Chains A and B, each alone.
Chain A
Amino acid sequence: MPSLLPIALVTLAAFAALSPLLVRRLGRDAGYALGAVFAALAVAFALAGGDVLRGETAMFSYEWLPAVGVSISFVLDGLALLFALLVLVVGALVMAYSARYFSDSPSLGRTYSLLTLFAASMLGLVLAGDGILLFVFWELTTITSFFLIGEGGGDKRAPATRALLVTGIGSLALLMSLVLMASITGDFSIAAMLSDPSAITGDALAPAIFILLLLGAFTKSAQVPFHFWLPGAMVAPTPISTYLHAATMVKAGIYLLARFTPLLAGTQWRYVVIGVGVVTALFGAAVALKQHDLKALLAYSTVSQLGFLMALIGIGTYTALAAACVHIVAHGLYKATLFMVVGVIDKEAGSRDIRKLSGLRRAMPRTAVIIGLAGLSMAGAPPLLGFISKEESYIALLEAPGPRSLTDLTTIVMVASAILTFAYGARIFLGAFEGPLKQELYEPATSFLAPAAITSIGGTILGLAVFLVNPLVGAAARAATGSGDEVELALWHGFTLALGLSVITIGAGVALLLARRRVDGFMDRLRAPLRGRETWDRIYDSTVSFGKRAGNPFLSDAPRLHLSWIAVALLAATAGAFVVTDFSPEGSPPSPLAADWIVMALLVCATAGVAAATNRMAAAALLGATGFLVAVVFALLGAPDLVLTQLLVETLTVVLVVLVFRRLPQSFHPTSPRRRRAGLALGSALGLGAAAVTWLVAGRRELSDVGAYYLDAGPRDAAGNNVVNTILVDFRALDTLGEITVLAMAAIGVFALVGQRRKPK
Chain B
Amino acid sequence: MNTVILRFTVRVLTPVIFALSVYLLLRGHDSPGGGFIAALLAGAAVVLQHYAGGPKGALRTIPLSFSSLVGAGLLLAAGMGVAGLFAGADFLTGGVHKFDVPALGELKVTASLVFDLGVYFVVLAVIVAVVSHLGEEE
Contact = CB atoms under 8 A, between A and B. Distances in A.
B40 A659 contact: no
Contact of A720 (B30, B67, B81, B135): B30
A730 B77 CA distance: 12
B6 interface: no
B29 to A, nearest CB: 4
Interface string A718-755: 11111011101110011011001101101110110011
Contacts of A755: 129, 132-133
Contacts of B112: 718, 720, 726, 729-730, 733
Contacts of A644: 24, 32-33, 37
B117 to A, nearest CB: 10
Given A659-B135, A730-B94, A741-B74, A725 B33 contact: yes
A652 interface: yes
A435 interface: no
A747 B134 CA distance: 11
Interface string B17-61: 000000010001111111111001101100100000000000000
A641 interface: yes
B77 A740 contact: yes
Main secondary structure of the interface of B (DSSP, over half): helix
Contacts of A754: 133-134, 136
Contacts of B28: 722, 725
Interface string A690-731: 000000000000000000000000000011111011101110
Contacts of B30: 720-722
A389 to B, nearest CB: 54
B92 A733 contact: yes
Among A649, A721, A737, residue most surrounded by chain B Cβ atoms (within 10 Å) = A737
A173 B40 CA distance: 49
A244 B70 CA distance: 43
Contacts of A718: 29, 94, 96, 110, 112
Contact of A740 (B73, B91, B129, B138): B73
B10 interface: no
B98 to A, nearest CB: 8
A282 B96 CA distance: 73
B42 to A, nearest CB: 10
B134 A729 contact: no
Contact of A750 (B41, B94, B115, B129): B129
A734 B92 contact: yes
A651 interface: yes
Interface in B105-138: 108, 110, 112, 115-116, 118-119, 122-123, 125-136, 138
Interface residues of B, number: 50
A656 interface: yes
Contacts of B43: 648, 652
A736 B130 contact: no
A648 B37 contact: yes
A729 B127 contact: no
A507 interface: no
B66 A722 contact: no
A722 B34 contact: yes
A644 B131 CA distance: 21
A751 B133 contact: yes
Contact of B36 (A640, A645, A733, A741): A645
A718 B136 CA distance: 43
Given A659-B131, A719-B110, A747 B31 contact: no
A729 B116 contact: yes
Interface in B61-86: 66-67, 70, 73-74, 77-78, 81
A404 interface: no
A744 B118 CA distance: 11
A644 B31 CA distance: 12
B125 A733 contact: no
Among B31, B116, B134, residue most surrounded by chain A Cβ atoms (within 10 Å) = B134
B32 A747 contact: no
Contact of A725 (B34, B47, B123, B134): B34
Contacts of B32: 640-641, 644, 722, 724
Contacts of A640: 32
Nearest to A725: B34
A754 B137 CA distance: 12
Given A663-B138, A730-B94, A751-B133, A648 B74 contact: no
A747 B78 contact: no
A67 to B, nearest CB: 15
A660 interface: yes
Nearest to A655: B47
Contacts of A721: 29-31
13 contacts: A640-B32, A644-B32, A648-B40, A655-B47, A656-B130, A721-B30, A721-B31, A726-B29, A729-B29, A730-B94, A737-B78, A740-B77, A748-B129
Closest 9 interchain pairs by CB? A648-B40, A720-B29, A747-B129, A719-B96, A729-B112, A740-B122, A754-B133, A721-B30, A640-B32
Given A648-B44, A651-B47, A744-B125, 18 more contacts: A641-B33, A641-B37, A652-B47, A655-B131, A718-B110, A718-B112, A719-B110, A722-B31, A724-B34, A728-B34, A733-B92, A736-B115, A743-B123, A744-B70, A744-B126, A747-B66, A748-B70, A754-B136
